[in-house]
Amino acid sequence: MARPRFTAKQARESLAQAVKDVESRTGAEVVVAVRLHSGDYAAADLRCASVAALATLVALCFLPHAFTDVAFVADTTLFFLAALVLSRRSSLLRRLFTSARSREERVRSGALVAFMVQGVGRLPGRNGVLVYASQLERAVAVVPDIGLDVGRLGSAWSAAVARLETALDPRLDLEAFDVALRALGPLLGRLRPRSDDDANELPDEASVE
């Protein structure tokens, strides 16, 4: 049985319920944003295609068979284009042809953009926190506003974020992500306890693109 994706109705409902559960334990406002990938991977696609073209050219030069001049051009071009199309459809190849540091920077930049676009940074109490999951990179960035000093939580906060990321690697485990997301509630409650008059200022539904 195939595992549900973030885009599935079941997944969206589960994430919304998880956000409600977290906010029932804290005065912080939690927003979940899920992206298929962060940033442009055209350069990675070109690297993959170039390697395929080079490998084809080497094979044509050293295989014990006589190839025509047309084959050198046509076959190299064909494998270049085939690899380019394949890379555009393959998260694995895009990760392979992109450095870990570059992927990390893309996720961080994507999270900061989502933080502003989703309105997390515009709350009067500066009590918003964005949970940003990027699937191609298998990475999670949790961005709290300045009203939430997560540094006070020490290693407990780092471990909570790591559990979220583990749920994406090596493949999406929605149940594990749901559990890890709910675990943020008690931690955020230490920083911003929930009061009886707390209002729900941001949507509970995840932003999935």
Does 119 lie in the same domain as 17? yes
The pLDDT > 70 percentage for the chain reads 98
Claim to verify: residue 123 and residue 141 sit in the same structural domain: yes
User: Are 132 and 200 members of one domain?
Assistant: yes
Q: Is the pLDDT of residue 2 over 50?
A: no
Q: What is the dihedral sign for C-alpha 143, 149, 151, 155?
A: negative
Based on the domain organization, do 35 and 75 belong to the same domain?
no
pTM, two decimals, is 0.87
Strand extents, DSSP E, the chain: 29-35, 128-134, 139-144, 207-208
Verify that 33 and 106 share a domain, yes or no: yes
Task: Tell me: do 69 and 103 sit in the same domain.
Answer: no
What confidence tens digit (pLDDT) does each residue in 131-166 have? 999 999 999 999 999 999 999 999 999 999 999 999
- Domain count of the fold of the chain: 2
Task: Kindly tell me the burial class for residue 88, based on how many C-beta atoms sit within 10 Å of its own C-beta (0-12, 13-18, 19 or more).
Answer: middle
**Residue 2 in domain:** no
- Is 62 in the same domain as 127? no
Share of the chain above pLDDT 90, in %: 71
The answer to whether residues 112 and 172 belong to one domain is yes
Q: Are residues 127 and 24 in the same domain?
A: yes
With a cut of 70, say whether residue 111 has pLDDT above it. Answer: yes
4 within a domain of the structure (yes/no) = no
90 inside domain: yes
In this structure, the answer to whether residues 76 and 88 fall within a common structural domain is yes
Same structural domain, 81 and 125: no
Phi, psi of 167 (to 5 degrees): -70, -15
Say yes or no: 81 and 116 in one domain. no
- Write out the residue range of the structural domain in which residue 70 sits: 42-96
In angstroms, the CA 84 to CA 172 distance is 25
In a domain, 70, yes or no: yes
Q: How far apart are CA 193 and CA 189, in angstroms?
A: 5
pLDDT single digits (tens) 31-80 = 999 999 999 999 999 999 999 999 999 988 888 888 788 888 899 999 99
Query: Does residue 199 lie within any of the structural domains?
Result: yes
* Residues 6 or more apart in contact with residue 133 via CB below 8 angstroms: 6, 32, 33, 34, 35, 139, 140, 164, 168, 177
Domain ends where: 74, 96, 118? 96
